[in-house]
A and B are shown apart, each in its own frame.
Chain A
């Protein structure tokens, strides 16, 4: 992977100037490369990783992982039905999985009730959906490579040879 992407994947706020200095390139070159990635869709968007445990006025939120069994459609396979599912705004992630079920769908809602409603009224009754199993998430420890904990203080002594 291009080093520009590697840097941005770690820190979406890294400035063009800093990236250029880190890679010994001209800022214009870096800018152009980033624009190209954005245009081609390699870079989709930039966002902050928020630990909601530390957000004071956070409205409570419930997440569930739902295993979905599907009857694939002729010529279209899983894609068409996946699209019907992931287009719901309640769905935050959707993956096609190997093994005993087909889609892993992550759903977010205000409370247990909204999530179970979604499963019962929207998801299960879709044609081609053969069955579902819902797992409610109890605690998040790590997400997308980020450990959801306050960083501990650096314990190195301030000066040494």
Chain B
């Protein structure tokens, strides 16, 4: 059977092989995980169980449970002063991943260009291609992994329809302050470029308060805002995210969603609704814990000679391994084979990230300390 050409060229094979190697090994300390090490807080799990006991086992409205959309409406209003209508401007999706797929398919006509600052989360490019668009990667590695108005302008032409912005950034943990976002927004407004804003790590911002992109001046009508429950509430396996934006875009996304997904699992939606009601304290506790690990990891990695700037959000840190002379892939493979510590090669997030690795500190303090000791051994052997 001839596989679709677009699909055939997806996913760099080297990374896949490395992932398989990790998954086949036992007793590995993993700093390669893109999810919290906490279990979903009990009151949220309990709400899921209770909904099953009550017999909530049906489909929901395509857009998602009204109760949950209303909860999201209130959350955004209280947190950012943002007003999205729960009837027309909010859609519940299977994690942010599905939402991004929907928005790209909803807006792209063949040949449209989508700007993607790299390093970036791995799905943006492939999903753009699947939708018939052309991803335009913007290398930010020489600008401290941040997009700037100049960099942005250099990549804009008539074919550019949207940008996929993500902050705090997976894999670097770097985020933007309000002023920087305002400058970016001015360029986007001028060129009428849609901002697809993936803010799934927004609640895990440490040094300053997170700015939601649609709160910027005149930004709301040109932004689709994405967030979800996976990271902040430690709910990755429940698969619940949401998209908020102008009603014509949300309506177009809902059309695709109703044919491909129908609706998110009702159990998950019930649990997510509870998360918004009673989860705030748990989020704060987890955030404090991540913050301590962040401080420790930044200090320790730098003192080992793996230079990295202090991340401002998420639970990732992105040190340079250039001092070892190894490539990202070789470093990761050797570290795994010799010391049984798993990290993700930077190149998984864009070819410009050769010389970097992604370390996730969503792991217990004891694990992190043991991993650091092993990395130290690994480096000493090479001096």
Binding site for B on A (CB under 8 A): 3, 6-7, 11, 18, 21-24, 154, 156-161
Contacts and interface: CB of A to CB of B under 8 A. Distances in A.
5 contacts: A157-B33, A158-B28, A159-B23, A159-B33, A159-B344
B338 to A, nearest CB: 17
A72 to B, nearest CB: 37
Given A156-B33, A156-B35, A161 B295 contact: no
Interface residues of B, number: 27
A29 to B, nearest CB: 14
Contact of A158 (B32, B121, B122): B32
A21 B23 contact: no
Contacts of A24: 295, 299
Nearest to A160: B34
A24 B298 CA distance: 10
Q: Which 3 A-B pairs have the closest CB atoms?
A: A22-B292, A159-B32, A158-B30
B293 interface: yes
Nearest to B293: A22
A158 B22 contact: yes
Contacts of A7: 292
B174 interface: no
A161 B348 contact: yes
B24 to A, nearest CB: 10
A157 B293 CA distance: 21
Given A156-B35, A157-B33, A21 B295 contact: yes
Contacts of A22: 292-293, 295-296
Contacts of B365: 11, 18
Given A7-B292, A24-B295, A158-B33, 18 more contacts: A22-B293, A22-B295, A24-B299, A156-B33, A157-B23, A157-B33, A159-B19, A159-B22, A159-B30, A159-B32, A159-B33, A159-B344, A160-B32, A160-B33, A160-B34, A160-B35, A161-B344, A161-B348
